[in-house]
Structure 1
Amino acid sequence: MLKRVFVAPDPGRMRLRFAVRGVLGIGLAVVVCGLAGHSLVGAVTGGLAALLALFTVTDATVRGQAVTTALLPLVGLPVLAAAAELHDVPVARDLTFLAVVGAGVYARRWGPRGHSLGVFAFMTFFVAQFLQATPGRLPELYAAMLLSLLVAAAVRFGLWCYERRLPPALVPAPPGGRGLARVTTRQAIQATAGAGFALVVGQLVSGERWYWAVGATWWIFVNTTSRGETLVRGFRRVLGTVIGIGLGLLVAVPLHGATVPTAALLTLCVFGTFYTAAVSYTWMMLCVTVLAELLYGLLGVLDPGLLALRLAETGVGAVGAFLAVLFVLPVTTHTVTDAWIQRALRRVHAATAEAAARLAGDEGADPASRVAELEQLLGRVRLSVAPLVHPLNPMRGRKRRARRVLALLDDCAREIRGLVAVAADPEASHDARLAAACWRVEAAVEALTGGADVTLHTTQPPVVEQPALAHLHGLERALAELAKPLRTPPGSPLVGA
């Protein structure tokens, strides 16, 4: 697991940039809140608002990111007011919290912007419980949130906007549908049911820290679509929390909230949260758990009993999520993964067509952007298949088939990248055989996505062939080999759960 985090590829140092900018933006937000005279509670509110603005806003373009960031306070301020005003009205507070959970998950149907606004709304309500916010604190909390969002926006869009130098990439949205066939609708109902269980049982465990259980349920649902994904994510959340609590006992508790070392460790945890998010949910949760422990240390309430309570509430939240995805409108891994694979295959064809057009002399063709979109979709396929390739999955046959599909899709991506690299060479010329090979790729994709049989009709390529043609032949072979694992009978599906 350690190797996966620190040896994982980081093209363009994107994860490193993301993490350093997160530390910079959150650190500046906290400093500005302090200079503005806000209390520790205000500074914590501001820091968390900046973290969410820098972490959760993932629109495909810089302009889209700016619009979403500007919308955050329109969602956060009313939710913060509701949480504070209902602080002493438990029934209304709980029902409102569940409504925020359901609306936040349902908002994912509008893509990255809906997802960001939903997360911000939920976390605003959660933070109000964390800080025991009351109506009297609202002016300070409003000011801290707005000030920190401004600072985060200044860092993201002014001081360090590295996205301007990157080609825009597709951010995949969840599979569509209508009514209860829409994944986001089913997930909103699941999340609300799971959060309801976590809220009730969490309050039986602790009348003061019950919201931890609701938070655990919520975050298990974030960035998941199917039943299998949610179960794996829940396991990883619990594992990360357990390890984080162990570190907290060794590091956070002995500090007793000492300002300088706590601030240094908070900085390290923020960096770790941003840096590991894309490669290991377990490591991210470890960092988040230690971060929360350090914040409780600053607030003067951290002790071993509190850490044990956090573990118990996390377990309650995980159970709530598991019960919801298993018994409330379940979304199977097979259904979701098949949709992502279909989209990835269509992107393979689109990238091939763009590269062929570029080789034919079309200067307007942009195969590089298609490759970026394909990489995004393949990342989503890997996430969907994760339950089947997980070490704890006992179904070895399905595990082998799932790994075969991932390997062949990676082969497709590698051949596409090679083809695009050749197409980018201004001296590369169009070979008449490319048109025929591209047609065969198109036919193979149509067969795989339409349900027809895929048969490879190519002669053995010569030992030495034109580079673009070599990549197309490799792509043809990978697509032909995909037919067998993707056509596994429904009784023993390759990507079923």
Structure 2
Amino acid sequence: MLKRVFMAPDPGRVRLRFAARAVLGIGLAVLGCQLAGNPLAGTVTGGLAALLALFTVTDPTVRGQAVTTALLPAVGLPVLTVAASLHDRPVARDLAFLAVVGAGVYARRWGPRGHSLGVFAFMTFFIAQFLHATAGQLPRLYAAVLLSVLAAAAVRFGLWCYERRLPPAAVPAPPGATGLARVTTRQAVQATAGAGFALVVGQLVSGQRWYWAVGATWWIFVNTASRGETLVRGFRRVLGTVIGIGLGLLVALPVHGAAVPTAVLLAVCVFGIFYTAAVSYTWMMLWVTLMAGLLYGLLGVLSPGLLALRLTETGVGALGAGLAVLFVLPVTTHAVTDAWIQRALRCVHLCTAEAAARLSGADHADPARRVGELEQLLGRVRLSVAPLVHPLNPMLGRKRRARQVLALLDDCAREIRGLVAVAADPEASHDARLAAACWRVEAAVEALTERGDDGTRPPSATVQAPVEPALAHLHGLERALAELATPLRTPSGSPLVGA
């Protein structure tokens, strides 16, 4: 697991920049809140608002990111008002919380912006429960949220806008449909049902910290699109929480809210959350859990019993999510996995075409942007296939085939990265054989994404020894695509995950 986190590819050092910028942006937000005279609750609210503004906004363009960031307070402040106003009316508060859960998940149907606003709305309500916010505190909390979002925006779009130098790839949206066949609609119903279970059982466990169970259910649903993905994410959330609590006992308890060491450790946690989020949910949850322990230390309520209670509530939330995806409008792994693999394969072809065009002298071609898109799509494939390769999966045949698919798709990505690196070299020469190789890649992708029963297979890779570096990568890509035919299909032509 350590190797996966710290040795994972980081093209353009995007994860490193993402994490470092987050530390800077959140640090400025916290400093601004303190200079403005906000109390500790306001400063914590501001820091978490800045974290969300930097973490959740994933529009494919800088302009789109700016618009979404500007909309965050428009969604968050009304939700904060409702949450604080209903502080002493538990039934109305609980119903409002469940409504926010359902609406937040349903908003994913509108792509990255809907997802960001839905997460911000939910977390604003959650933060109000975390701090036991009341209506009398609202002016200070409003100021903290606005100031922190502004500080995060100043860093993201002013001081450190690396997206202008490295155009971001479009964030993949879940496979679409209509009505109850739409993944986001079914998940909105599932999340509401799971959160309802978590809320009721969580309150039976603790009348003060019940919201942890609802938060666990919510975050297990984020960025998942099938029953299998959600179950695996729930397992990883519990595992990351267990490890994080262990670290909390070793680190957060001895610090006990001391300002300077807590601030340093919180900065480390922020960096860890942002750096590991794209490669390991378990590691991200480890840092989130440690950060929560440190914040409770600042608030003066941290104890071993509180950490144990967090683990119990997390388990309740994971159970609620698991029951919901199993029994409420379940979304099978089959269709989702197949859709993501096909999209990744088509992106392989687009990357190849852009690189070949660049080698041919087309200045408008931008293969680097396509590589970023491919990395995100492969991340979605790994997430979707995770239930099949999980150690507890008893279906050994499917597990073996899934691992083959992941390994070969990684081979494709490696060859694409090499091809793009060659295309970026202004001294790279154009070879007439590039076009023929690209056509073969296109034919291979078309054969793999066809779902008919005619037995079509990708063309065999050429055996000619390549001379040019670009051709070497193209031939490696051809071989990987040809080998993908076996694990992706059984002899009858069925998809990877079967019926």
TM norm. shorter chain > 0.5: yes
RMSD over aligned Cα atoms: 2.1
- Separation in structure 2 between the aligned mates of residue 496 and residue 450 of structure 1, nearest angstrom: 16
C-alpha contact (below 8 Å) 1:454/1:483 kept by paired residues:
no
- Separation in structure 1 between the aligned mates of residue 494 and residue 348 of structure 2, nearest angstrom: 27
Residue matched to 1:420? 420
C-alpha contact (below 8 Å) 1:422/1:428 kept by paired residues:
yes
- Separation in structure 1 between the aligned mates of residue 469 and residue 117 of structure 2, nearest angstrom: 46
Residue matched to 2:354? 354
C-alpha contact (below 8 Å) 1:240/1:285 kept by paired residues:
yes
Query: For each residue in 1:99-150, what CA deviation from the matched residue of structure 2 results, as whole angstroms up to 9, or x when unmatched?
Result: 1001111111111111111110000000001111111111111111111111
The offset of 1:373, in angstroms, is 1.8
Residue matched to 2:325? 325
Residue matched to 2:241? 241
Letter paired with 2:124: T
Question: CA 1:363–1:304 in structure 2 vs 1: closer, same or farther (change >3 Å)?
Answer: closer
C-alpha contact (below 8 Å) 1:257/1:299 kept by paired residues:
yes
Residue matched to 2:172? 172
Residue matched to 1:476? 478
* Residues 37-436 of structure 1 mapped to structure 2, 5 A cutoff: 37-426=37-426, 428-436=428-436
- Separation in structure 2 between the aligned mates of residue 464 and residue 125 of structure 1, nearest angstrom: 59
Question: CA 1:305–1:430 in structure 2 vs 1: closer, same or farther (change >3 Å)?
Answer: closer
How many positions carry a matched residue from both structures? 497
C-alpha contact (below 8 Å) 2:59/2:65 kept by paired residues:
yes
C-alpha contact (below 8 Å) 1:356/1:434 kept by paired residues:
yes
Query: What TM-score do the two structures reach when normalised by structure 2?
Result: 0.94
The offset of 1:459, in angstroms, is 7.9
- Separation in structure 2 between the aligned mates of residue 426 and residue 25 of structure 1, nearest angstrom: 36
C-alpha contact (below 8 Å) 2:461/2:475 kept by paired residues:
no
Residue matched to 1:442? 442
Moved more, 354-363 or 377-386: 354-363
Question: CA 1:68–1:21 in structure 2 vs 1: closer, same or farther (change >3 Å)?
Answer: same
Letter paired with 2:204: L
Residue matched to 1:495? 497
The offset of 1:308, in angstroms, is 1.7
The offset of 1:418, in angstroms, is 3.3
C-alpha contact (below 8 Å) 2:460/2:482 kept by paired residues:
no
The offset of 1:466, in angstroms, is 4.1
- Separation in structure 2 between the aligned mates of residue 464 and residue 24 of structure 1, nearest angstrom: 47
The offset of 1:83, in angstroms, is 0.3
Letter paired with 2:489: R
- Separation in structure 2 between the aligned mates of residue 213 and residue 457 of structure 1, nearest angstrom: 52
Question: CA 1:424–1:273 in structure 2 vs 1: closer, same or farther (change >3 Å)?
Answer: closer
Letter paired with 1:89: R
The offset of 1:310, in angstroms, is 1.1
**4+ long deviations beyond 6 Å:** 489-492
The offset of 1:315, in angstroms, is 0.7
- Separation in structure 2 between the aligned mates of residue 485 and residue 471 of structure 1, nearest angstrom: 22
| Identical-pair percentage | 84
Unpaired runs of 5+ in structure 1? none
The offset of 1:277, in angstroms, is 1.4
- Separation in structure 1 between the aligned mates of residue 463 and residue 243 of structure 2, nearest angstrom: 53
Question: CA 1:59–1:428 in structure 2 vs 1: closer, same or farther (change >3 Å)?
Answer: same
Query: 1:251 is paired with a residue of what secondary structure?
Result: helix
- Separation in structure 1 between the aligned mates of residue 115 and residue 15 of structure 2, nearest angstrom: 21
Question: CA 1:354–1:316 in structure 2 vs 1: closer, same or farther (change >3 Å)?
Answer: same
Moved more, 91-100 or 300-309: 300-309
Query: What TM-score do the two structures reach when normalised by structure 1?
Result: 0.94
Query: For each residue in 1:191-248, what CA deviation from the matched residue of structure 2 results, as whole angstroms up to 9, or x when unmatched?
Result: 1110010001111111111111000100111111111111111111111111222222
Question: CA 1:30–1:472 in structure 2 vs 1: closer, same or farther (change >3 Å)?
Answer: closer
C-alpha contact (below 8 Å) 1:247/1:290 kept by paired residues:
yes
Query: For each residue in 1:438-482, what CA deviation from the matched residue of structure 2 results, as whole angstroms up to 9, or x when unmatched?
Result: 333222222221225344556853335444444333322222221
C-alpha contact (below 8 Å) 2:445/2:458 kept by paired residues:
no
The offset of 1:425, in angstroms, is 4.3
Question: CA 1:447–1:285 in structure 2 vs 1: closer, same or farther (change >3 Å)?
Answer: same
Moved more, 483-492 or 348-357: 483-492
- Separation in structure 2 between the aligned mates of residue 32 and residue 464 of structure 1, nearest angstrom: 58
The offset of 1:21, in angstroms, is 1.6
- Separation in structure 1 between the aligned mates of residue 399 and residue 305 of structure 2, nearest angstrom: 40
